Amino acid sequence: MRYKKKALVLKTYWEVINMKFKMNNRSWEIVELSQEEICERTNKEFKPEDGRYFGICSYVEQVIYLDKELCTEQKRQTLFHELMHCYIACYCSFEDMQPYHEDVLCNISANSHDIIHDIVKEYFKEK
């Protein structure tokens, strides 16, 4: 797999970390933002008293948003989690998920393991 990594400056002039990747021949990217920026980009209301979003997988934009303030280990775990959402959206139909039982989860995990781990490894390679 080939990955592209670059810095991107948004209209608000906040710098974000950005990496592009492919999932089932669809272009996705990983972007790190503050809580306020994540909520703004995903049309969610920011309420600090309700907790925080560690990450969000936006299927429409094909972007995984990560909280840039997370420690590295939590960010890594969150990226694994969000990439699983991405994988399911790209490779599984609703019919594949019904009935939702242990064998379905085991198949998804086994089939997605190398793909997801390679992306996470590449993302954190230079950090």
What's the average model confidence in pLDDT over 111-119?
A: 93
CA 47/CA 81 separation, integer angstroms: 22
Most confident of 35-39, 43-47, 56-60: 56-60
CA 11/CA 103 separation, integer angstroms: 45
- For residue 22, the cross-strand partners are 27
Higher pLDDT, residue 86 or 51: 86
CA 51/CA 36 separation, integer angstroms: 12
Query: Is the CB of residue 33 less than 8 Å from the CB of residue 12?
Result: no
CA 43/CA 58 separation, integer angstroms: 11
Structure tokens that stand for 65 in this block: 């948003």
